Amino acid sequence: MTLMTPPPAPLGIGAPDVARRFTRSAAMADSPVNPSAAFEAWFAGRRARAVFDVRQIEFGNLRGWSFDPETGDLGHDSGRFFRIEGLDVRTDWGWQPRWSQPIINQPEIGILGIVVKEFDGVLHVLLQAKTEPGNIDAVQLSPTVQATRSNYTGAHGGRAIPYLEYFREPGRSRVLVDSLQSEQASWFLHKRNRNLVVEVTEDVELLDGFCWLTVGQLHRLLHREHVVNMDTRTVLSCIPFQAPNGPFRTSTPVGYREALVRSMAPVDATGSAPGALHTDGEVISWLTDTKTRHELVQRTVPLKGLPHWRRTETEIAHETGHYFRIIAVDVRAGDREVASWSQPLLAPVETGRCALLVRPVGGVLHLLLQARTGPGVLDMAELGPTVQCLPGSTADQPAHRQPRFLDVVAAARPDQIRYDRVQSEEGGRFHAAANRYQVIEVGEDFGLEVPPEFRWVTVGQVTGLLRHSHYLNVELRSLLATLHTTW
Amino acid sequence: MTLMTPPPAPLGIGAPDVARRFTRSAAMADSPVNPSAAFEAWFAGRRARAVFDVRQIEFGNLRGWSFDPETGDLGHDSGRFFRIEGLDVRTDWGWQPRWSQPIINQPEIGILGIVVKEFDGVLHVLLQAKTEPGNIDAVQLSPTVQATRSNYTGAHGGRAIPYLEYFREPGRSRVLVDSLQSEQASWFLHKRNRNLVVEVTEDVELLDGFCWLTVGQLHRLLHREHVVNMDTRTVLSCIPFQAPNGPFRTSTPVGYREALVRSMAPVDATGSAPGALHTDGEVISWLTDTKTRHELVQRTVPLKGLPHWRRTETEIAHETGHYFRIIAVDVRAGDREVASWSQPLLAPVETGRCALLVRPVGGVLHLLLQARTGPGVLDMAELGPTVQCLPGSTADQPAHRQPRFLDVVAAARPDQIRYDRVQSEEGGRFHAAANRYQVIEVGEDFGLEVPPEFRWVTVGQVTGLLRHSHYLNVELRSLLATLHTTW
């Protein structure tokens, strides 16, 4: 019954200075505290010296993990961490009315927290060069704290988590961002993490493995692949920015950058954003309507005997070879709270595709969002990118089952492409999981009339929705974080 | 894949005129269109003439419903409507770490929709005198449309639903309120309904069984018991009102009514409400923090062999006699889309207690809300009344397990009680379910320091949160609807 402590106070969520100060940090492409050249040398060193050995093993050689003899579910003997279970999905959404699949069930909410601190008048974010067993390139930049509830309550039996006190002890920080956000609905059942940004004014010791960066430096790193991990990107997506300059002329046509900056105008108290095609209320009502018109029944079932999935000594895979495999790995690490362990991982069989079409409407950039369901989504549907798919698993399907607008994305000319990088998904649960993220600009000749599951929304509107849970899926949040690198 | 129609447009959600016009309607204690005397005669007639015969039967005599031979779950042979299943709950919230119970699983989102229309410049709501098998006094005032997805897609094989077109056909109405809201988390697994208010300007035929009322008339009826059903109350709670008059002097102390009116000031774009102890962002952050600190694992399990629950030929009941029973009834009705059917109902064994402590803080009324979990809650926790309990089932518990502030509620003097009525819960799934709803004013000597799971919040703040899902539970929404009757 007892809550240990109240949340950190005072809070700065929604305070007018926050967006302005983060925008100032985004304008700083380098930092006197941690010049980019020094960061590069340090980060290359972290990667070169990473003592991290991950090898696939047979399920039978997992230590502490076993298949439940009755259900075939794969879980930890302590009953904690996560379990691989079966999920039966029935829905009238999409062309597959029913299917079963393995899914990761981890019914606890973790913390993804970034500490920020002002140096020379500029906010810096504190990131960690962190290894995860499933990481591409082993080391990626993660939030200051990236901890499951099992982690921070000590179920791992590991070392204390550095900097956790700034998120747990009242008075140590000012909360600037705080919201529960979902993770991959294809692979996780009802998973959310708490996305936090806290500002600290006291002196902060810089521990080994951590670095300070301006948001501008981080934005540059987002133009490299597999450097900024998914957890950092989702927290970053929740940070509000203010139009970096303006006001602009009202004449049209305006350039891409000007249209993007205008799109960042925040939603006002009546739910309207300047120049937006729809009000906030209309967008929420449309999403609600979409949820109401569809059916989604999720039921956990035994992993044993899941139709169309085959378990061998080394993997659980779909008989078509599509989607993903469940594998087991043995991990030896030099820089983690526990030096050696084994665990299951979910290994996608292909790189996914996440593309966001953007279009100026009356000089204000609009993002074409899709209301999407997913096997593990908690509240029927969330807003996702225009296109989100596994191209290989739909390639053999007829034309009417191809994702909408995939043809537009595939045919994009180089001058339309504002962002195009492959980025990693979470490396603690997924093995080498990645999506190709693209922001593609279409012209004013691209029709505003779209199918009913799509809507045109401004950046200011999605940023407002991110103060709440259940609106933006994690793939769209990654794209929003990268969109802010294209000012 | 195909969505049938886009949502009705244009939308008026958040439009500045909406709160003003509803407030004007609330000030009209009578209506020229439907004078209260005429309404009373009509409503008494509906109750007198209600052809509605409900009698308890043995489970074996249910038509179309049966226990699954393997799981013991009670479901309809068509696989639709709802099922009574078992639920296993594990949580570190409250003093019971684990329990099992029957729960209603109805994985579809229904519509609770009220049509409003202006007569003589005043908005009127269109309500239905509706019978439900579990209703106290058989007939209560329900929303214009109160339909499960099975209803409105025709799974009942019943008649067309009157007025549904105003909620389903674009261009027939202007949407004023639209949000998904949860229902009783003690009895329903993850249940939500879509709360809608739409304004119609075209002529609307007044069908038999329906009536137009001003909000003021409805507010007066809320001071009677079992007249306004739960579904009407929850939709009503989502309607924004504007301070009915003012500005007020800033001197303190102010009276109750003045403090309440000030409390209704809406939240501004930065998430602040005038005079509120906490910003919007702080309230959301506190709720998020509370969710993160706790664990709630919900798992559907077979109803057969549920520990501590006993099934006889006529009921499924807890061995202590507490909580609720599952029973079966046979229904013969004259005014429903299907004239005769049988179904299971959940019958609580006692009247619950829902009390809201309110206190002026600096001349602005604040509501003392509690972050509460529940066996069937979808997203860990929601905001509930200060006290929400079944007194009988905790009466034999030691003092430290008694609900917080129940002693304050029990000791309230008559002059502190702003509202005190027993009102019904939903009669389509529950048999004679009711709670005693109380609004109790405490003075400025009542401490602002409260336990960590409680927060003081203004009316404007909770009204803002009601634009989104997952914030206010249905009991708090009922209290909010009644609070607006105390201006």
Beta-carbon separation of A293 and B268 below 8 A: no
Contact across the interface for A378 and B379, Cβ inside 8 Å? yes
Q: How many CA atoms lie within 13 A of A185 on its CB side?
A: 27
Name chain B contacts of A109, Cβ cutoff 8 Å: 291-292, 380
Spacing of C-alpha A341 from chain mean position: 26
Give me the residues of B, 248-267, that contact A with CB < 8 A: 266-267
Secondary structure of residue B125 in the 3-state scheme: strand
The Cα B84–Cα B106 span in angstroms is 9
> What local confidence, expressed as pLDDT, does residue A1 receive?
28
Angle at A232 between CA A229 and CA A236, to 5 degrees: 140
- β-partners of residue A54 are A331
Residues of chain A neighbouring B180 (CB-CB closer than 8 A): 288, 291-292, 379
Mark the ranges of chain A whose per-residue pLDDT is less than 50.
1-9
Please, what is the angle between helix B230-237 and helix B474-483, to 10°? 70
Query: CB–CB of B378 and A380 under 8 A?
Result: no
Q: Does B9 touch chain A (CB under 8 A)?
A: yes
Percentage of residues of chain B with pLDDT beyond 70:
93
Residue B176: how many other CB atoms lie within 10 Å: 26
A71 at interface of B, judged by CB pairs closer than 8 A:
no
How far is residue B438's CA from residue B422's CA, in Å, rounded to a whole number? 9
What is the pLDDT, as a whole number, of residue A271? 78
- Stretch 445-474 of chain B: residues touching chain A, C-beta under 8 Å: 451-453, 467-470
- Give me the DSSP letters along A402-445: SPTTHHHHHT--GGGEEEEEEEE--TTTBSS-EEEEEEEE--TT
Q: Does B1 touch chain A (CB under 8 A)?
A: yes
pLDDT score recorded for residue A248 = 52
| CB < 8 Å from B in window 208-247 of A | none
B94 contact residues in A (CB cutoff 8 A): 1
pLDDT reported for residue B9:
43
DSSP B423: E
Chain B: nearest CA to A255, how far in angstroms?
A: 28
pLDDT digits (tens, 9 = 90+) for B205-257: 999 999 999 999 999 999 999 999 999 999 999 999 987 555 555 555 689 99
Interface test with A, best of B4, B11, B295 (most A CBs within 10 A): B11
Residue with tokens 């981890």: A106
> Cβ contact (<8 Å) for B13 and A281?
yes
List Cα–Cα distances, B433 to B108, B436, B477, B484, in angstroms: 22, 11, 17, 23
**What is the token pair recorded at B475?**
């009991």
Question: With an 8 Å Cβ cutoff, are A178 and B285 in contact?
Answer: yes
Contact A105, A75 (CB under 8 A): no
Q: Are B113 and B127 in contact (CB under 8 A)?
A: no
Contact A352, A436 (CB under 8 A): yes
Q: Are the Cβ atoms of B111 and A292 closer than 8 angstroms?
A: yes
CA distance A17 to chain B (A): 11
Rounded CA separation A116/A227 (Å): 19
So what's the pLDDT on residue B482?
Answer: 97
CA B179 remoteness from chain centre: 13
Instruction: Check if B310 contacts A (Cβ < 8 Å).
Output: no
DSSP bridge partners of B346: B326, B430
Contact A231, A112 (CB under 8 A): yes
Q: Which chain B residues are Cβ-neighbours of A108 within 8 angstroms?
A: 295
CA distance B220 to chain A (A): 30
**Which of B282, B382, B383 should one mutate to test binding to chain A, selecting the residue with the greatest count of A CBs within 10 A?**
B282
Q: Out of A16, A111, A270, whose CB is closest to B292?
A: A111
How close A266 comes to chain B (CA, Å)?
A: 8
Residues of A in contact with B4 (CB under 8 A): 293
**Residue B145 in tokens:** 């449309």
The pTM assigned to this predicted structure is 0.94
CA angle B438, B442, B443 (to 5 degrees): 160
For chain B positions 277-296, those within 8 Å of chain A (CB to CB) are 279-282, 284-286, 288-293, 295-296
Q: Calculate the alpha carbon distances from A473 to A191, B319, B391 in Å.
A: 11, 44, 41
Among B71, B101, B103, smallest CA distance to B84 is for: B103
Q: Is the sign of the CA dihedral A193, A197, A198, A200 positive or negative?
A: positive
Cβ-Cβ contacts under 8 Å, B107 against chain A: 295-297
Which tens digits make up the pLDDT trace of B60-94?
999 999 999 999 999 999 988 899 999 999 999 88
The pLDDT of residue B8 is 40
What residues of A are in contact with residue B194 (Cβ under 8 Å)? 288, 292
Of A342, A429, A430, A428, whose CA–CA distance to A64 is shortest?
A342
Do A94 and B1 make contact, defined as CB atoms within 8 angstroms? yes
Interface of B with A in 139-198 (CB under 8 A): 149, 175, 178-180, 194
Q: Given CB atoms, is B17 within the 8 Å cutoff of chain A?
A: no
Minimum distance, in Å, between the CA of residue B271 and any CA atom of chain A: 6
Those residues of chain B that have pLDDT short of 50 are 1-9
